[in-house]
Chain A
Amino acid sequence: MTTRPGRPTVLLVVASFVFAAMPHMAAMPPWIVAMILGAAAWRAAIAIHDLPRPGWILRIFITFGGLALVVAYYGTLWGRRAATVMLCVMVAAKLSEMFRLRDARIVAALAYFLIATQFLFSQRLVLFVYLVIGCWLTTAALLQVQRDADDVPAGSTIGSALRPVIRDGLAIIALAAPFAVVLFMLFPRLASPLWGMPDEALDGRTGLSDEMTPGSITELFADDSPAFRASFDDGAPPPRSRLYWRGPVLWRFDGRTWRRLDIASRRADRLPPAEPGSWSYTVQQEPTERRWMFALDYPVSAPEEARVTSDYTLVREQPITSLIAYDVISNPLFVDSPSLQGWMRRIALYLPEDSNPRTRAFARSLRERFENDRELIEEVLAWFNREPFFYSLQTSPLGRNGADEFLFDLRVGYCEYYASAFAVLMRAAGIPTRVVTGYQGGFWQAADQYLLVRQSDAHAWNEVWLSGEGWTRVDPTAAVAPERVSEGARSALAGGAGWFAGEWLYAIRNQYDRLQNLWNRWVLGFDDERQSSLLERLGLGELSSAARSLALLALAALALIPLALLWHALALAPLGTDPLQRRWKRVRFRLRRAGMAPGIGETPFELAERVSTRLVNGDELLTLAARYSRLRYGGEASAEARTSFFESARRWRPEPLNPSGSRASKNGQHARSDHR
């Protein structure tokens, strides 16, 4: 029994760790990534070039240095990201003292753990590939560690040493998969968590922000990743012009930035009734680390663990840290705040003093021409359309008098610019106005009947308060670029948009999202409810929990039967890796099938001598056995000799002597003629 890992073992263990840590590293600061990769490369170099080992002082320094750096960077170890980064760094430090098989085993076991923890951050479809390959590599690494422990001689090159364990590792994963699937479907789920997930917003995967400063954020519009998907109970979605997915409502304006009004996020006093004409749909929302949920105007009730705020936004009690699905009914005919309280009106009319003088003057002149609010708004929208305003993401940030600059000088911008400037103009004209952020439109996946809303569909629009009509949606962007609403951000930007890849890539991404959608629904969305319905369909719905556990065990046992069969079929014994032995094994197998079972401990030649008298082509068997012995136990054999043996062994079939002594089958004669 050996206790030191060989060179191939070290390399495979290091590789499995690096692979398991890869998605984690994507979310780490580059210097931590450099540290981890450096440790891995160093350990590999020690193995390859037989460099001296690090002394214990250095190892302690690495371990505690790594710990200190992570704590210094994250400020805490409490939280998913900091904890997993810590784990990665610690395992990397462990590599510097991985000189015993025991340490190699622990590193590999932690690689499994790293794979599992990655899914706390994302469970996208591509990560399933990561799961499978990661488990495969890790299992292969553990196989190789055990081979070292069992003194199995390694191949001469690293490649030939690792080939058998890579193959066996894949076989093990393939055989464990059916078991995992059955367990996945039947294992009881928790309806509610035992402990909460720590709050944090770290990875920048935050989607829509809860404030808006025109020009500060354009990343979102370049992000083609899905924000959420919606499937409508009636099949087809409402017309695009109604697809305003309501997010944070912004009231407070300080001259540059729009912010939420805390008091408006209290629970709504009055919920819209679910009338005919309402839309009923299911939203499957990607994690955002924030609490916003998205619904069309106006949600009639809140999903579980969420509330409808008084400005009719859905807010969850906990941040959305994993994919969630919720059912919503929206009533578009609802009138929001037929009367406006005085203090609210004041907030909705507030503008910082001495800002945007030109806009204020313009508002005054408009007010003189139009008594009626609605007419005034119509005129402004027409003005936007008439004057040379352009819709583009390539624009410049605005200063203190942003509305002035935008309305009279710049005139190039995107939704945030229009919504902000429009709101300033309206407030200056005495019309209560607020900004609503959210998403607009979406891509209709007709084949799978769902609407895919991307981050790049993020939008900002306004709501003005009109007496009698309450808060009414006005989208100034639509006045400038109607195609933004009718066809989406992509078409509105056609030509000028450098970051959108070609059409074909976009089409592929749409297709890929269909897979992702199925994945989300059937794999990630498989919770205790779906499980119950599955069990019901299996006829286990009525059982008590004890009986259900028994049934689960029975089903798991049943799943083992095909597993066992498969296992025997594949014969995952330590197969001879030697192609020569495999060929000879096959010859022996054919003999056994023909009723001439090889005896225990019989050498190839003894076997051939014993059975050759019972075969028509016994002399060929003798030749084969002699050649096999020579190739296997003799000195270095030429490649031709091996190939020709392979060929003959492959073709040879036993032809038993019939009692009558007649010649054997046609097939056998064929083999003979080949052989001679």
Chain B
Amino acid sequence: MSSRGFSKKPAFPERWNAPLQRAFARWIRRRGPVHPPLVLGYRQIYILPTRFGWLIGLLLTAMLLGSLNFNNNLGLFTTFLVAGTALLSMHAAHRNLDGVRIAAIGAGRTFAGDPLALSISLQDTLGRARSGLVVEAPEGSASRGGRVDAWQAAELEIEIPTSSRGWLKPPRLRLRTRYPLGWFQAWSWFWSEQRFLVWPRPAGSAPPLRMAGRNADRQRPGDESDEFHGLREWREGDPLHRIAWKASQRHDTLLARQFSRPERGRIMLRLADAPAPDIEGRIAVLARWVLEAERMDLEYGLDLGSMQLPPGIGPTQRTRCLDALAEFG
């Protein structure tokens, strides 16, 4: 995003080598809190001219020199008026961040390789509306410009790339603004100590599921909630309301309505069964199987050797299984 803006590549310190980076992080941390929730104040807000701001500076210098040389007083006044505007713009950019509370960073789940959508919730604590707030990640991705009304809260979404399964620590983010004129950029660093789980990327192709103890033809008796299956002779113990009175009239005996539930396929997904040379490959296959089982409406459980998940079905089961796969090892 910012690669298309006028400030092509913000000087993110991530490009520096590790010790410098750690020192930089320590320095930022010393200046004030950096983990949400935090309220941005004087010590956390940095400000510098944007590329366009430097251009305006250059223009102002030219105007100043020309006007001074020709003793051109109106030219000078124009220069000073624009300079005053620049000063106000700097102040306004700072003011636009000052007192913003970064309340939390939240995220859903995503498969490794897909971008993870972080949602950053912001609040105003000083009774001022803010506009043009953008969250940027070091890789150059950025959120859309956001607005926070006075005393209100708002959320900004930013996508960060993921590469492998497991717990992901989001990178150092920055909240920046170029309000009001785009001459100055004010920003604050913040990062989360919270980590987010990234699911393993499902294998592109996986062998079909091996049904374990599948008994598709078997029926087991059900109750009224299941579908109507047929009639049979009434026996002692059958509830009265199950008697099919109309049908019984045509027979000598009382008939009772019978219900049944078609038995779901049930399957145990075992790490040992996954046909892949290495552990990551197997986990990828298992992840694919979880999705397949969910799609085919099978009950599935997970057996990772060290831990087992009992069979189940539905989003909760899916999440539980994928989480277990993500954390495995």
Residues of A whose CB lies within 8 Å of any CB of B are: 1-3, 102, 105-106, 109, 112-113, 115-117, 119-120, 123, 127-128, 131, 135, 139, 142-143, 145-147, 149-152, 168, 172-173, 175-181, 183-184, 187, 189-190, 193-195, 197, 321-322, 523-524, 526-527, 560, 563-564, 567, 571-576, 581, 585, 588, 592, 598-602
Contact = CB atoms under 8 A, between A and B. Distances in A.
B73 A523 contact: yes
A54 to B, nearest CB: 22
Contacts of A194: 65, 68-69
Nearest to B101: A600
A116 B144 contact: no
A150 B134 contact: yes
A602 B151 contact: yes
Nearest to A603: B152
B82 A135 contact: yes
Given A142-B181, A573-B96, A131 B74 contact: yes
B81 A173 contact: yes
A335 to B, nearest CB: 39
A62 to B, nearest CB: 23
A180 B75 contact: no
Contacts of B181: 139, 142-143, 146
Contacts of B80: 179-181, 183-184, 187
Given A573-B130, A581-B149, A601-B151, A1 B63 contact: no
B153 to A, nearest CB: 5
A576 B66 CA distance: 40
B59 A112 contact: yes
A524 B73 contact: yes
Chain A at the B interface: SS class: helix
Contacts, number: 205
Contacts of A195: 69
A152 B131 contact: yes
A573 B95 contact: yes
Contacts of B96: 573-574
A16 B106 CA distance: 44
Given A109-B56, A123-B73, A574-B179, A1 B145 contact: yes
Interface stretch (B83-91, B111-119, B312-320): B83-91
Given A119-B67, A150-B131, A179-B80, 13 more contacts: A1-B144, A1-B145, A113-B62, A117-B75, A142-B182, A168-B180, A187-B80, A193-B69, A194-B65, A563-B88, A575-B129, A588-B150, A601-B123
A563 to B, nearest CB: 8
Considering residues A105, A151, A573, which has the most beta carbons from chain B within 10 angstroms of its beta carbon?
A573
Contacts of A106: 55
B74 A524 contact: yes
Contacts of B145: 1-2, 149-152
12 contacts: A109-B56, A117-B75, A123-B72, A131-B78, A146-B182, A149-B178, A151-B146, A194-B68, A195-B69, A560-B87, A574-B96, A581-B149
A38 B71 CA distance: 35
B63 A116 contact: yes
Interface stretch (B1-9, B21-29, B247-255, B300-308): B1-9
Interface in B144-184: 144-147, 149-153, 177-182
Contacts of B85: 135, 139, 172-173, 176
A168 B128 CA distance: 15
